[in-house]
Amino acid sequence: MLCACSGSEADPPPAPNLGHDAGNVGGAAGASARAGSDGAPAGSSGTAGVGGQIGSAGTAGTPANDSGAMTRSSISSKLAHTCAVRSPGGPVCWGDLSLGDFGQLGAPNEDFVDISTGTLHSCGVRADGSLRCWGDNRDGQSNAPSGEFTQVSGGYIVTCAVSKSGPAQCWGTGANDFAVPAGSLVQIAVGQKFVCALRADRSVECSGANNHGQLNAPAGSFQKLSTGTHHSCALRDSGDVACWGAGGSSDPRGTDPDYGQSVAPPGRFVDIAAGYGHTCAISESGQTVCWGAGTSSGDCAATLDQCGQAKPPLDQLVKIAAGASHSCGVTAGGTLVCWGSNSGGRATPP
């Protein structure tokens, strides 16, 4: 399932429960609902709007959120919350706390160059290369090591980061589920009980669970990598997308969570984000294309495929992130926009 709307370790909660009261809500759609105006309530389905509402796919909307110029843009979603770096203004996090409030939305007012969300925690790389994590630490996933790092990736009960010298470190109970790729790395990305890394030679190496073909990374030279819950996607040097794992031909099970999230469309892209059952990418022309679960809007509480997380707005984006039942991005003008389930405010950036 493809929508090019013109213009972790322990199993997470069952997919249908990840987006209650959902709809195709984006940008600041929740702003009017919180104020009690006549705007559609946050979580309603298929509502078009301008100046505070991004409506259903195929309808242009202008988000009202003024989230600061994202001149140093980094945005990340894992399950039900999202964090982004905005400069000036520092980091900001928002989302659904129904799975537990461990302070994962309480981003410290510090200067970060990279940020990543785990399931119930968040981490960032400071400007000086040191790490800072906040949120759930029951399994040690927020016990960031000392040192200088260039990139960080949060999972369910694990976090990994690439050091300035090249090797990666992982911490938290979930680090026992895989072998940390050795040698010099450019990027690391944590999934559920598996991890993939982009090596200095531009090849991809994965380790850990392989029940959905998560380790079947293709050969070739890549520039960017993203892992979802049970699948991964990467941008080749040419800009073409390659995906593997759940929802694709490399999945030996071919069962839930098979939403086609690994069936990548043709085209050349500049950014990519793998979620739970869907994937989104930004084309060279700035168009957002999503595939997998959520190409429809309807009863999100009944099925993940009706949450609208794969129905992007018309805004030209420069960065993108994919959660379980929502997606978010940064526009060329520096505004944060989200779409899909708005359960708990996950599609309502501050």
Least confident of 159-163, 219-223, 260-264, 297-301: 297-301
- Check pLDDT > 90 for residue 5: no
**What DSSP assignment string belongs to 191-203?**
-SSEEEEEETTS-
Q: pTM of the predicted model, to two decimals?
A: 0.81
Which strands sit side by side in the sheet containing 90-95, from one edge to the other?
74-77, 81-86, 90-95
Q: What is the mean pLDDT of residues 204-209?
A: 98
What is the amino acid identity at position 232?
S
Task: Report pLDDT for 254.
Answer: 55
Distance CA 250, CA 215 (A): 9
Q: What is the mean pLDDT of residues 66-94?
A: 77
Spatial CB neighbours of 313, under 8 Å, sequence gap ≥ 6: 5, 7, 26, 27, 54, 57, 60, 61, 63, 288, 337, 339
Q: What is the mean pLDDT of residues 17-42?
A: 30
- pLDDT tier for residue 302 given thresholds of 50, 70 and 90: confident
Q: Which residue has the higher pLDDT, 238 or 350?
A: 238
2-34+50-345 CATH fold? Methylamine Dehydrogenase; Chain H (2.130.10)
- Check pLDDT > 90 for residue 311: yes
Least confident of 25-29, 79-83, 277-281, 299-303: 25-29
**What DSSP assignment string belongs to 221-233?**
-EEEEEE-SSEEE
- Check pLDDT > 60 for residue 60: no
**For the chain, what are the domain ranges?**
2-34+50-345
Q: What is the mean pLDDT of residues 261-279?
A: 96
- pLDDT tier for residue 177 given thresholds of 50, 70 and 90: very high
> pLDDT per residue over 224-264, tens digit each?
999 999 999 999 999 999 999 999 876 666 555 689 999 99
Task: Report pLDDT for 143.
Answer: 98
- Check pLDDT > 80 for residue 167: yes
Mean pLDDT of the residues in the chain: 81
- pLDDT tier for residue 76 given thresholds of 50, 70 and 90: very high
Task: Report pLDDT for 15.
Answer: 36
Give the three-state DSSP class for 30: helix
- Of residues 131, 95, 136, the one with CA closest to residue 112: 131
Task: Report pLDDT for 17.
Answer: 40
